[in-house]
């Protein structure tokens, strides 16, 4: 039985965890002090050795990403922190930044030192004003305490609220003041990123993991997790569970274990389907309760670890309806740059809406899958691919439920039954 391993979230339950004082009480900013005395390349090597992989979804080794930045090129380098957390279900960076913004700032200092950058930009999702305020205050406190401003500056940039700006090159365009749309690669951000300068773009959690690695060493970090997925991470449990929230555990924990820690499903119900890493990762069902939730384990089972956003749905949920809602999100958030995503999501929504209302025939399912095949791997960025995942995976596991809509001429589910407030008044 894997246990929780709170590192990032170790002190979240303290009232002043978000303050400079609260952070320093547990050794805050000691790691950056230590790192600044190290050779930058040694810091990069340390992060490489730790096995830390990007927590934004793709799982690219963080140290290797840092190592791509050309050195001695007499150009400004930039660190950009992707805090545009917008994936349906994903909710780890928001609580992290609310509870402990200083760990991110400290991580920025270390990363900047390693990649020889003088500026870090935190690009934060436009809708979460309260988080932006908290991070802003933390930055101001860090400047006042002389932690920032000594050769490393951190700038907070609040986005205008677009899912696409979580895509790193769209984020860079948005940060530069343009409308966020993904850029053509190459050049990759490591060569020509922000303002055409070598740039590292990392997720909040990736950067926030660095101070602990610097303090405790690569071996300590490596001692947690699985063979290729090292360390601890935040699993965000939401939906029909008794006790939703953030569960920080070593990579490789299973949903069965997390559910146990969370007190199980909501009383009287059983698991029907779930997402391992947000809505753009293919669905899992109760067959997958024992899949190790690390990069390899989830991939081997046909999905992606993504952002470890575990959205849990019980048997009251209509999968067609859930998929339609997600698809509506993708249609709304498609940036419009490429044809497959822009036109495809427009079309997908219309087909799904009909199916959910019980209109159409089984041939529409074939059409839907063929359409997904024409979008998947054909779009400019991964957003288009992601839009097809819930559809193809739900048809794979729940084809009968789709067909039941058609034979029934309407959705066979009571939508109220799946709501969380159903028990209260009913």
Partner 1 sequence: MSTEVSEMITVVIDGFEVSVPKGTLVIRAAEQLGIQIPRFCDHPLLDPVGACRQCLVDIEINGRAFPKPQASCTIPVEPGMIVKTQLTSPVAEKAQRGVMELLLVNHPLDCPVCDKGGECPLQNQAMSNGQGSSRFEGVKRTFEKPINISSQVLLDRERCVLCARCTRFSEQIASDPFITLNERGALQQVGIYENQPFESYFSGNTVQICPVGALTGAAYRFRARPFDLVSTPSACEHCASGCDMRTDVRRGKTLRRLAGEDASVNEEWNCDKGRWAFKYVTAIDRLKVPMIRNASGELVEASWPEALAVAAEGLKSAKAAVLVGGRATVEDAYGYSKFARVALGTNDIDFRSRLSSDEEREFIASRVVGSSTTYRDIDKADQVLLVGFEPEEESPIVFLRINKQFRKRALKVVSIGSKESIAVEKLKAEFVKVAPGQEAAAIASQKLTDKSVILVGERAAESAGALSAVAALADSTGAKLAWIPRRAGERGAIEAGAIGNLLPGGRPVTDAAARVDIATVWNTDSIPAEVGRSTSQIIDAVHAGQIGALVVGGVDPLDCDNSQAALSAMEKAFVVSLEIAPSAVTARANVVLPVAAVTEKSGSFLNWEGRARSFDAAVADSLNRSDLRILSMIADEMGISLNLGTVTAAAKEIASLGAWDGARATFNKVSAQAQPALNGDQALITSWRRLLDLGTLQEGEEHLAGTARRTVAVISPKRAQSMGVVDGDQLKISTAQGSVTLSALVENIHDDAVWAPRNSRGSQLLVNLGVAHGAVVTVVKA
Q: Does 335 bind partner 1 (CB under 8 A)?
A: yes
Q: Alpha-carbon dihedral of residues 22, 26, 32, 34, nearest 10 degrees?
A: 150
DSSP class of residue 120 equals E
331 touches partner 1 (CB under 8 A): yes
φ, ψ dihedrals at 140, nearest 5°: -60, -45
Query: Cβ closer to partner 1: 293 or 338?
Result: 338
Kindly state whether residue 337 participates in binding partner 1, applying the rule CB under 8 A: yes
Stretch near partner 1 under the rule CB under 8 A, chosen from 100-108, 256-264, 308-316, 365-373: 365-373
HSE-up (13 A, CA, CB side) for residue 214: 32
- Decide if residue 344 touches partner 1 (CB under 8 A): yes
Among residues 48 and 342, whose Cβ is nearest to partner 1?
A: 342
* Sole window of 13-21, 57-65, 301-309, 327-335 interacting with partner 1 (rule: CB under 8 A): 327-335
CA distance 172 to 232: 28
Residue span 81-100 as binding mask against partner 1, x where in contact by CB under 8 A, dash where not:
--------------------
Closest separation in Å from C-beta 60 to partner 1: 16
Stretch that binds partner 1, among 107-115, 138-146, 151-159, 328-336 (CB under 8 A): 328-336
With contact defined as beta carbons under 8 Å apart, do 21 and 102 qualify?
A: no
Residues in 170-199 at the binding interface with partner 1, rule: CB under 8 A: 179, 184
CB closer to partner 1 out of 68 and 346: 346
34: tokens are 């230590």
Say whether the peptide bond before residue 205 is cis (omega within 30 degrees of 0): no
Which span sits near partner 1 by CB under 8 A: 50-58, 82-90, 276-284, 333-341?
333-341
Rounded to whole angstroms, how far apart are CA atoms 368 and 293? Answer: 29
287 vs 373, which CB is nearer to partner 1?
A: 373
Q: How far apart are the first and last CA of the chain?
A: 37
Does residue 412 interact with partner 1 by CB under 8 A? no
- Where do the DSSP E strands lie in 152-261? 153-158, 199-203, 232-239, 245-250
Strand partners, 202: 81
The stretch near partner 1 (CB under 8 A) out of 4-12, 240-248, 249-257, 339-347 is 339-347
313-325 CB burial, b ≥16 within 10 A, e <16: bbebbbbbbbbbe
Size of the site for partner 1 (CB under 8 A): 32
- Rounded Cα–Cα distance for residues 318 and 414 (Å): 8
We find the least distance from the C-beta atom of residue 341 to partner 1, in angstroms, to be 8
- Which one, of 123, 143, 100, 128, lies nearest residue 6 by Cα? 100
Sheet containing strand 284-285, edge to edge, reads: 245-250, 232-239, 309-314, 271-275, 284-285
- Interface residue with partner 1 among 30, 347, 358, 392 (CB under 8 A) is 347
Which member of 19, 226, 327, 345 binds partner 1 (CB under 8 A)? 345
Decide: is 279 part of the binding site for partner 1 (CB under 8 A): no
Shortest Cβ 370–partner 1 spacing (Å): 8
Taking the complex as a whole, the smallest distance from the CB of residue 322 to partner 1 amounts, in Å, to 21
Q: Cα torsion for 25, 26, 28, 32, to the nearest 10°?
A: 140
Q: Per the structure block, which two tokens stand in for 311?
A: 């959205």
Q: What string marks each residue from 367 to 406 as x (binds partner 1 by CB under 8 A) or -?
A: x--xx-xxx-xxxx--------------------------
> Are 266 and 241 contacting, i.e. CB atoms less than 8 angstroms apart?
yes
CA distance 123 to 117: 16
* Residue from 52, 69, 164, 283 binding partner 1 (CB under 8 A): 164
Residues 32-71 that bind partner 1 (CB under 8 A): none
Could you tell me the two tokens for 165?
């700006």
- In the complex with partner 1, the residue whose CB is nearer, 122 or 395, is 395
Residues of this chain that bind partner 1 (CB under 8 A)? 162, 164, 179, 184, 331-340, 342-347, 350-351, 367, 370-371, 373-375, 377-380
């Amino acid at each position: 039985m894997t246990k929780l391993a709170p590192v990032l979230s170790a002190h979240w339950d303290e009232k002043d965890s978000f303050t400079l004082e609260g952070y320093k009480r547990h050794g805050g900013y000691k790691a950056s002090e230590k790192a600044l005395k190290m050779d930058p390349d040694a810091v990069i090597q340390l992060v490489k050795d730790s096995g830390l992989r990007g927590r934004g979804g793709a799982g690219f080794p963080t140290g290797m990403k840092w190592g791509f930045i050309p050195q001695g090129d007499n150009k400004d380098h930039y660190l950009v922190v992707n805090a545009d957390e917008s994936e349906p279900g994903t909710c780890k960076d928001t609580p992290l930044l609310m509870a402990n913004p200083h760990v991110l700032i400290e991580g920025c200092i270390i990363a900047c030192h390693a990649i020889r950058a003088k500026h870090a930009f935190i690009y934060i999702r436009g809708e979460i004003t309260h988080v932006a305020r908290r991070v802003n205050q933390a930055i101001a406190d860090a400047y006042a305490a002389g932690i920032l401003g000594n050769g490393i500056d951190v700038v907070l940039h609040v986005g205008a609220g677009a899912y696409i700006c979580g895509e790193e090159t769209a984020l860079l365009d948005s940060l530069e003041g343009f409308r966020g749309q993904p850029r053509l690669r190459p050049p990759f951000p490591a060569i020509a990123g922000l303002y055409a300068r070598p740039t590292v773009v990392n997720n909040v959690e990736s950067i926030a993991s660095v101070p602990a690695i610097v303090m405790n060493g690569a071996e300590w970090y490596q001692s947690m997790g699985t063979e290729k997925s090292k360390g601890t991470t935040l699993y965000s449990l939401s939906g029909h569970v008794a006790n939703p929230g953030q569960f920080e555990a070593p990579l490789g924990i299973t949903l069965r274990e997390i559910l146990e820690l969370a007190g199980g499903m909501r009383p009287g119900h059983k698991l029907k389907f779930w997402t391992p890493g947000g809505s753009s990762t293919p669905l899992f069902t109760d067959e997958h309760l024992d899949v190790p939730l690390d990069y390899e384990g989830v991939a081997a089972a046909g999905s992606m670890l993504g952002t470890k956003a575990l959205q849990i749905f019980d048997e009251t949920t209509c999968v067609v309806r859930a998929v339609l809602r997600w698809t509506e999100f993708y249609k709304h958030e498609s940036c419009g740059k490429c044809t497959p995503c822009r036109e495809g999501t427009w079309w997908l929504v219309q087909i799904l809406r009909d199916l959910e209302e019980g209109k159409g025939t089984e041939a529409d399912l074939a059409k839907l899958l063929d359409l997904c095949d024409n979008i998947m791997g054909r779009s400019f960025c991964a957003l288009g691919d992601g839009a097809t995942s819930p559809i193809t995976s739900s048809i794979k596991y729940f084809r009968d439920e789709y067909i039941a809509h058609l034979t029934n001429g309407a959705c066979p589910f009571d939508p109220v039954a799946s709501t969380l407030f159903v028990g209260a008044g009913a």
